[in-house]
Structure 1
Amino acid sequence: MEAIRLEFQPEIKAKILELLSSFSSDELKIVQEDPDFDENKRKLDIAYAKLKSGTAKFYTLEEVDVILEETISKYEN
């Protein structure tokens, strides 16, 4: 299957859904988009730009383990 993203004015949503309902479930599946899609995309674009520019911060597994242990110990009490 292929996927497309539609943007439309709210007042035509009923007409669009009526048209789409004429197709069988084998032909068309309506998937609700993640409401946080735009925010997640923005965050990923920023992270990708940092990777491409070489400014991203990387950690070894040992460094992550130390960071996690310190964070956990702060909130244990």
Structure 2
Amino acid sequence: METIRLEFQPKIKAKILELLSSFSSDELKIVQEDSDFEENKRKLDSALVKVKNGTAECCSLDELDLFLEEAISKYEN
């Protein structure tokens, strides 16, 4: 399947959905877009730039394990 993104005025939503409902579920699936998509995309693009230019903060698996153990023990009690 292919995916496209549509932007439309709210007043024509019913007409669009009526047209799309004429297709079977094998032919068309309506996927609701995440309302935070653009903000998440911006954050991820920013993080990717940092990874590519070498300014991202990274840690080893041992450091991550230690951090997670400390966080878990903090909230266990």
| Shorter-chain TM-score range | 0.7 to 0.9
CA distance in structure 2 between the aligned counterparts of 1:40 and 1:73, rounded to whole angstroms: 30
**Shift of the alpha carbon at 1:62?**
0.5
Q: Which amino acid aligns with 2:64?
A: V
Consecutive unaligned residues of structure 1, counting only runs of 5 or more, are none
Paired residue secondary structure (1:38): helix
Give the corresponding residue for 2:58: 58
1:41 CA displacement = 1.1
Which portions of structure 1, spanning 4 or more consecutive aligned residues, are displaced by more than 6 angstroms?
none
Quick one: structure 1 residues 17 and 70, their matched pair in 2 at CA, closer, same or farther if it must change by over 3 Å? same
Matched length = 77
Query: CA shift at 1:6, angstroms?
Result: 0.8
Unaligned runs of 5+ in 2: none
What is the root-mean-square deviation in Å for CA atoms of aligned residues?
Answer: 1.4
Query: Aligned equivalents of 1:27 and 1:19: distance in 2?
Result: 13
- Give the alignment's TM-score, normalised by structure 2: 0.85
Q: Percent identity?
A: 77
